[in-house]
Structure 1
Amino acid sequence: MTAANGTATVAPAPAAGACAEVSAQVSAEVSAQDFARRGYVILRGVLDAPEVERARALCSGYLTGTGSQEMLTSDFLADDFLAGIVLRERVVRAAKELLGEDHPVLYPNCTARKNVYVPWHVDATFVGPTASYVWEPGFAHVQCGLYLQDNDPVGGGGIDVVRASHLMSFDGYGTTEPEFDIPARTVGESDLRERVDTRAGDVVMWNARLMHTSTTVLRDPGREKFGVFFSYARPHVRDNHRFLSQIAVDSMRTMNGVSRLIPRLAEIARMRYPESFPAWFAQGATDAGVRIPTL
Structure 2
Amino acid sequence: MAVRPEGTPCWADAMFGDVEGAKRFYGDVLGWTFGDSSSEYGHYTQAYVDGKAVAAVVPPMPGQEGQSQWCLYLASPDAVATAARIRDNGGEVLMEPMQVGDFGTMCLAREPSGAVFGVWQAGTHEGFEVTATPGAYCWAEVFTREPELTDAFLCAVFPYRMTEIEDAAVDFRMFRIGEDTVLGRMRMTDDFPPEVPSYINIYFAVDDCDEAVARAVKLGAILRFGPMSSPFGRFAALSDPQGANFSVIDITVTDGEMPRVRDV
Greater Cα radius of gyration, structure 1 or 2? 1
Same fold (TM over 0.5): no
**Between Structure 1 and Structure 2, which shows a larger proportion of helix residues?**
1
Give me the TM-score of the superposition, normalised by structure 1: 0.27
**Between Structure 1 and Structure 2, which shows a larger proportion of strand residues?**
2
Give me the TM-score of the superposition, normalised by structure 2: 0.30
